[in-house]
A = this chain, B = another copy of it.
């Protein structure tokens, strides 16, 4: 029981309108059950999700649904936000790296829909069942560095739902639900890298996770804020509480706000 991951070499620079499904099929020899991990940046390029670098801050604002936390550093402010894709990360995924000079790339408008279109196209061109994961690189609370995660998925189970299954000793794995889509996206980063210019990797040997095109996408991984113990930053939550407590003591409350 093992698997392999190989980067797809020799892909051309992707321009707006590029037929990514055809380009990827032409550059690979896919097998039934393969999972393609595609860096979301080339999907953004194909979809023309590019704006002038000068408009970066406005683009972040436009992509933001909810500000989660902010941090000042010398030279600016990092905004951790929930973006329109529902993903929580720095700068709403707006990023200059691997973007054309003088521009920044926005995430695809609907990464699950983009993944589904690619999976549909690749399945049609090859006649075999493959899965598609769109990946992006994100930081995380509590741990330094970044990992690639799945921001879009189609034709692949994003969770290995073991709730109700048992461990090797027969004991139930009550709450265990590994997010295999994120683990696969992170694994693919190890061959794609950031500087190698290898935006696509083929994962072979995990066909058990490949399924119908209408399986829940990566959006189903995102935890709704009302279930999230870390839905806003500690400083933002403290400041909200301080303001409400102050007002309450002055008999203008109770004003406990939703976080």
Interface residues in chain A, defined as those with a beta carbon under 8 Å from any beta carbon in chain B: 1-7, 9, 69, 71, 80, 88, 96-101, 137, 140-149, 158-160, 162, 165-169, 171, 173, 176-180, 182-184, 186-187, 189-191, 193-198, 201, 206, 220-223, 228-250, 256, 259
Closest B residue, CB atoms, query A221 = B143
Cα(A69)–Cα(B232), bound, Å? 13
A187 touches B191 (CB 8 A): no
A142 touches B238 (CB 8 A): no
Q: Enumerate chain B residues within 8 angstroms of A148, measured Cβ to Cβ.
A: 178, 183
Q: Enumerate chain B residues within 8 angstroms of A206, measured Cβ to Cβ.
A: 190
Cα(A176)–Cα(B95), bound, Å? 12
State the Cβ distance, A168 to closest chain B Cβ, in Å: 3
**Given A179-B143, A249-B246, are A238 and B223 neighbors across the interface (CB < 8 Å)?**
no
B173 touches A183 (CB 8 A): no
Closest B residue, CB atoms, query A192 = B1
B169 touches A194 (CB 8 A): no
Cα(A91)–Cα(B250), bound, Å? 39
State the Cβ distance, A74 to closest chain B Cβ, in Å: 13
Cα(A230)–Cα(B160), bound, Å? 27
**Given A71-B229, A242-B256, are A195 and B162 neighbors across the interface (CB < 8 Å)?**
yes
A179 touches B144 (CB 8 A): yes
> Can you offer 16 A-B residue contacts whose CB atoms are under 8 A?
A1-B7, A69-B229, A97-B176, A101-B169, A101-B171, A141-B223, A141-B229, A141-B230, A143-B179, A145-B177, A145-B179, A229-B234, A235-B259, A238-B241, A242-B245, A245-B247
Q: Enumerate chain B residues within 8 angstroms of A158, measured Cβ to Cβ.
A: 145
Cα(A158)–Cα(B2), bound, Å? 23
Q: Enumerate chain B residues within 8 angstroms of A142, measured Cβ to Cβ.
A: 88, 222-223, 228, 230
Closest B residue, CB atoms, query A252 = B249
